[in-house]
Structure 1
Amino acid sequence: MDTITLGQVEITRVLEWSGPFAPTSAVFPTLTREHWQANESWLSPDHWDPATDMLLARTQSWVLRSEGRIILVDTGIGDDKERQIPVFHRLRTGFLDRLAAAGVQPEQVDLVVNTHAHSDHVGWNTRLVDGEWIPTFPNARYLLHAADATPGLSDPQVHRDSIDPLRHTGQLSTWDGTELRIDANLTLTPAPGHTPGSAVLRLVSGTDRALFIGDIAHSPLQIVEPDHEPCLSDDAPAATATRRRLLAEAADTGALVIPAHFGGSGAAEVKRDGDKFAITGWAAFG
């Protein structure tokens, strides 16, 4: 099953793409081969390929059913997009078919939450129809932090094909400040560092907790080695501080950590381990 329930919220994982992304040394310049080898027993085969030293990654979206609404967290790479990263370039993934298999048609989505504006988190915001980029989810409001919604702060091509069309239809809603309440179960708060407008979606429902952290961690090795930031972040010190803060919150409150790109079950339970953290279990996805 790719669905779990936390409190009053049902969460379904919808896979878009998975595979080798890049050599670990290219993505994580401060993590040595020894770091990966010391954790090989649980990093392989879902998160790291020891034979090739490639980081294994996924792009996936999370469908939340909360208070009668369907909320989509991050929209992956998208099809037909011109992208600088070769593995993301002009994909055809069948994502909408898998979304339909999860019981969701595009017109049923009420809200899209983009945790930040990188190309692999906003791609299915739009789809190509007769040479024009149109919103994939015609009845949805799209949420993006104002700091990431400003053209020029990220790839202009991403804005042209995945963000600007939402402005034209009036479906893009930007936010700032310290908190945005979505409903009684869900709240968005800033989590800057990876991008200026990176955000975390916090779920609190009954006694259950979860943190949808986007790219605050790209590999579960960053949970046990939290001070190592990939080359993909705008402000590495700020991103590291944000990761430590959120991991500490998860450890202290029992919140499930749900990043965008983890393989395997895709979500981890954590605890404090001295001044670092440890994984104590995995969610029942997959």
Structure 2
Amino acid sequence: MIRFDSLRPRQLPMFGGQKHRARRIAMSSESKTHRIGDVTISKVEEQQLSNVPVSFLYPKENAAERIAADPSLRDNIEDQGKSLRLSIHTWVVRTPDHLILVDTGSGNDKERPRNPIFDRQSIPFIARLRAAGVDPDKVDLVFNTHLHVDHSGWNTRLEKGKWVPTFPNARYVFPRAECEYYASPASHNEANIPSSGVYEDSIAPVIDAGLVDYIEPGGGRYLDLFDFIPTPGHSIGHMSIAVTSGGETAIFGGDILHSPVQVRHPDLNTVFCEFHDQASASRQSMLGRLADTRSLYLATHFPASSAGLVARTQDGFSWTYI
């Protein structure tokens, strides 16, 4: 059992502010469809970010120098190794019986003064979902790997001054530990003010609507195709999600990895990882699992296709986009 009063939470850093000015860039409309047995998976992008400083995202001492000196990462970093490109998107999963979304991006109209790039956004994400054949009223399930700002924002939308579920006929599946933590004083900053408002505008309205199923901290099977895999550290109850069909497996990793940088250097936590030792351990374990099973990895922030394979090398792991 997780004891929330034993934790020492910290407020997550500002992203997209004056000091670390990431910027949105134009997006490609192309999206590859992946097939896992009887399941199809495609990506619908909310936004892409460029000019994300390596030294900001990976603040560990000498991390930026290590990354810039790694020849295998040259295609994944920009500005002579000083910056990265990241994606924020939703994975659309179609099984023979269900239409499912995995993570929902950062959302519109949310007040995020500590994260200016996400503050009061107006992005045509719902139009992009519809263009991909997704009617919000026909979504059966919404899975959140965790409840950070850029993974749960489209859980709700603003209607007549009130936050309402964006997908009103769906069951929303949340890690229970995430909900309990972010609803509790343990996740608040020193002034006892919620650190982001995400719980209040993107989580609580869905709970209040009676649309939530919970995944316990130990993870486990959901429906017949999905396994929730505990990968805590980036956040307190972070889950990765495996889907298996026809003898094939794909794994949605959430924020266990932010970019291919961490495939090569799994000891590097991002500035947004809340519990560092757990985050590193979860990442190392998942990389081994991906390499040994040759499962398709579906990332939430990798650019390009955001999908690929991990393999073992003499000095660790490698990443290949597909």
Matched position secondary structure for 2:153: helix
Corresponding residue SS for 1:48: coil
| CA gap 1:10/1:34 in 2 versus in 1, 3 angstroms | same
Indicate the SS of the match to 1:77.
Answer: coil
Q: 2:216 aligns with which of 165, 168, 176?
A: 176
Q: Which residue of 2 aligns with 1:67?
A: 96
Residue in 2 aligned with 1:257? 297
Per the TM alignment, residue 39 of structure 1 is displaced from its structure 2 partner at its CA by 4.1
Question: What is the Cα deviation at residue 32 of structure 1?
Answer: 3.1
Residues 111 and 119 in structure 2, CA contact (< 8 A), matched pair in contact too: yes
- Aligned partner of 2:64 in structure 1 is 33
Distance 1:27 1:183 in 2: 36
- Structure 1 unaligned regions, length at least 5: none
Q: CA deviation at 1:268?
A: 1.9
Amino acid at match of 1:114: N
AA matched with 1:27: L
Q: Structure 1 residues 17 and 146 mapped into 2: Cα distance closer, same or farther (>3 Å)?
A: same
Cα offset, 1:48, TM superposition = 2.8
Local SS of the residue matching 2:202: helix
Q: Which moved more, 1:219-228 or 1:144-153?
A: 144-153
1-side partners of 2:129 and 2:145: how far apart? 19
Looking at structure 2, the residues matched to 274 and 96 of structure 1 have their Cα atoms a distance apart, in angstroms, of 44
Which residue matches 1:94?
124
Partner Cα separation in structure 2 for residue 21 and residue 108 of structure 1: 36
Provide, for residues 17-43 of structure 1, a one-character-per-residue CA deviation record: whole Å limited to 9, x for no partner: 102263111110125333332346755
Do residues 282 (structure 1) and 317 (structure 2) align? no
Following superposition, the deviation at residue 180 of structure 1 comes to 3.1
SS at match of 1:33: helix
Query: Aligned-pair RMSD on alpha carbons?
Result: 1.8
Q: Which runs of 5+ in 2 are unaligned?
A: 1-30, 188-194
- Paired with 1:41 and 1:257, the residues of 2 have a C-alpha distance of 19
Q: Structure 1 residues 30-39 or 104-113, which shifts more?
A: 30-39
Alignment partner, residue 114 of structure 1:
144
Q: Which has the larger share of strand?
A: 1
What is the one-letter code of the residue matched to 2:298?
I
Counterpart CA distance in 2 for 1:49 and 1:227 is: 21
- Counterpart residue number, 1:157: 197
| Deviation digits for residues 60-92 of structure 1 (CA, Å, limit 9, x no counterpart) | 000101132001000000011111211111111
How far apart in 1 are the matches of 2:81 and 2:282? 31
Q: What amino acid is the match of 2:68?
A: Q
Identity fraction in percent? 38
Change (3 A) 1:43 1:169: farther
CA-CA distance at 1:7 after TM superposition: 1.1
Looking at structure 1, the residues matched to 213 and 87 of structure 2 have their Cα atoms a distance apart, in angstroms, of: 27
Partner of residue 53, structure 1: 82
The match for 2:111 among 70, 82, 91 is 82
Q: TM-score, normalised to structure 2's length?
A: 0.82
Aligned residue in 1 for 2:256: 216
Kept after mapping to 1: 8 A contact 2:47/2:88: yes
TM-score (structure 1 length as normaliser): 0.92
Q: Could you say what secondary structure the match of 2:281 adopts?
A: helix
CA distance in 1, matches of 2:98, 2:51: 34
**Aligned partner of 1:78: which letter?**
G
* Residue 141, structure 1, aligned to residue 171, structure 2: yes
User: Which residue of 221, 226, 231 corresponds with 1:186?
Assistant: 226
CA deviations on 1:219-277 (whole Å, 9 max, x unpaired) are: 11100111111121111111111011111011000111112100011012011123521
What is the letter of the counterpart of residue 67 of structure 2? W
Going from structure 1 to structure 2, the CA distance change for 1:170 and 1:160 (only over 3 Å counts) comes to same
